[in-house]
Amino acid sequence: MIDWQHFTPWASLAGGILIGVAAAMLVLLNGRVAGISGIVGGLVGAWRGDVAWRVAFVLGLLVSPALYAFIQGRPVVRIEAGWGTLVLAGVLVGVGTSYASGCTSGHGVCGLSRLSPRSLVATLAFMAAGMLTVLFTR
């Protein structure tokens, strides 16, 4: 059943377009794929002499809530998970995206935009796993 009460098609579409614009900026100006797990992972594991753009991009992400708050008001962040669940989930996301070489942004947005079969398989796998997890834990 559709949850019409929380359905926000226009805001979500507009936000999606902004995400697409940001991915376009990064690939056309810097020649890089806007995959957040890859950008952050590159700072954690393999310092390959291309640190500046990664740090700059992550700083942009960190500052974005302040810009949003200035224009629109404080962002809504409702976190239902407890502390232990957050730690477990964080480790799983870190390990999983590293093995998969990508996450929702790298595979789901950029990979599907490139029509990559690898990214389609990855996206279907993490969507299905996420849906099953919610089905069994919520």
Partner 1 sequence: MNAIAAFAAGLVFGVGLILSGMSDPSKVIGFLDVTRAWDPSLAFVMAGAILVGFFAFALARRRSEAFLGDAMQLPQRRDIDARLIGGSIVFGIGWGLAGFCPGPAVVSFGSGQDKAAVFVVAMLAGMALYYGLASRNDVSALDDAASAQKKKNPAV
What is the footprint of partner 1 within residues 23-42 (CB under 8 A)?
A: 23-34, 36-38, 40-42
To partner 1, the closest distance from the beta carbon of 69 in angstroms equals: 8
Binding of residue 64 to partner 1 (CB under 8 A)? yes
Binding of residue 47 to partner 1 (CB under 8 A)? no
The whole-angstrom distance between residue 33's C-alpha and the CA centroid of its chain comes to 12
To partner 1, the closest distance from the beta carbon of 89 in angstroms equals: 4
Binding of residue 85 to partner 1 (CB under 8 A)? yes
CA distance 41 to 44: 5
Burial of residue 18, with CB atoms counted within 10 A of its CB: 0-12 exposed, 13-18 middle, 19 or more buried: exposed
Binding of residue 132 to partner 1 (CB under 8 A)? yes
Binding of residue 12 to partner 1 (CB under 8 A)? yes
Write the single-letter amino acid at 87: V
- Cβ distance 14 to 71 under 8 Å? no
The size of the chain, in residues, is: 138
To partner 1, the closest distance from the beta carbon of 120 in angstroms equals: 9
- Cβ distance 103 to 97 under 8 Å? yes
To partner 1, the closest distance from the beta carbon of 108 in angstroms equals: 6
Question: Could you tell me how many residues of this chain bind partner 1 (CB under 8 A)?
Answer: 118
